[in-house]
Structure formats: C-alpha cells, structure tokens
Amino acid sequence: MTDTSLATSPAPAAPEPPAPYVRHDRRSGLTDPWEPLYSHRQENAVWLGLWAASPHANSRGFVHGGLLTALADNAMGLSCAQARGDPRPSLVTVNLAVDFVSTARVGQWVEVRPSVLRTGSRLCFATALVLADGAVCARANATFAIPAR
C-alpha cells in the first residue's frame, strides 16, 4: 500500500481574467512564479492583474505585501514607459512607497491601476491603486529614472 497523503495534484487552471485584460506579454525571472499575469494596455498606462492563489499568499492567507509592492512597481514603470512612447522600457526605480489599506486574499482578482503623474527627460512620477475584487487594498507612489541611451 502506498501512502499518497503527500501527493500533490496539479493546481486548477486560473479563471479567465475580466475584460479587457489579456495575457501579459512581458516576462521576467521575478514575475515568472506569479504567472499567469494579465495586462490591459492603454494610451498612458499598463494595468496588471492576477488571480490570487496560494503561492502568492503569506501564512495567514493574505496576498503577500511584497508581491503587491513588486506588482505595483512593475505596473507603474511600464506605464511611465508607455506614456513616453518607449518601446523598450528600461526605467530604474529610484523611490517607491506603498501604503497597505486593506488585505487581498487568495481567490480574489488583484489588479494594479497606475497613473502617470509627470514624465520628463530624466524622471517619471507615477501613482497606483492596488485593488482586490474592486476594493482598494494598497496605494503606491514611485519615481523612476530614465537612463541615458
């Protein structure tokens, strides 16, 4: 008799994202474990979203604040590049602040909705709301340096 108590079954497939989100086309070693990620590109912003799952959570079942912070940083940086018309984003975060207002939990749709406040020749400023099923769970502000080419 084989003990199967530790056997794992494949994780269920994530539900489809809400419209108008599509699979995010930019991957990195940092974000690969969070897949599938989804994005909604607009003229001056790139919203990011995911279905919160157990790999995103801390021991209390809340989506980890570090993940929310990194996702907000990513979305704000991509939005600054989008607003600048930069096809190859290479901005560098020089300041990042996040206020956690509430919690996001496993099973919720988590999305980051950034807005670019100002973009100049050397710096770009952005803000974002992080929502869980439409309710604000964090707000973020960031400043990005625009490297010389």
Question: For the CA atoms of the chain, what is the radius of gyration?
Answer: 17
Q: Is residue 13 part of a domain?
A: no
| CATH number of domain containing 114 | 3.10.129.10
Q: Is residue 16 part of a domain?
A: no
Q: What is the pLDDT of residues 59-95, one digit of tens each?
A: 998 999 999 999 999 999 999 999 998 877 789 999 9
Identify the H or E element spanning 23.
strand 22-23
Q: What is the pLDDT of residues 109-130, one digit of tens each?
A: 999 999 999 999 999 999 999 9
Place of tokens 């995103």: 56
Q: Is residue 10 part of a domain?
A: no
Q: Residue 12: what pLDDT?
A: 58
Q: Is residue 43 part of a domain?
A: yes
Contact present, 111 and 149 (Cβ < 8 Å)? no
Q: Domain containing 135: what range?
A: 22-145
More confident residue, 35 or 3: 35
Sign of CA dihedral 55, 59, 60, 65: negative
Q: What is the pLDDT of residues 6-64, one digit of tens each?
A: 444 345 567 888 888 888 887 777 777 777 999 999 999 999 999 999 889 999 989 99
Q: Is residue 44 part of a domain?
A: yes
Q: Is residue 3 part of a domain?
A: no
What is the pTM assigned to this prediction? 0.87
Q: Is residue 104 part of a domain?
A: yes
Q: Is residue 102 part of a domain?
A: yes
> How many domains does the chain fold into?
1
Structure tokens at 109: 């749709």
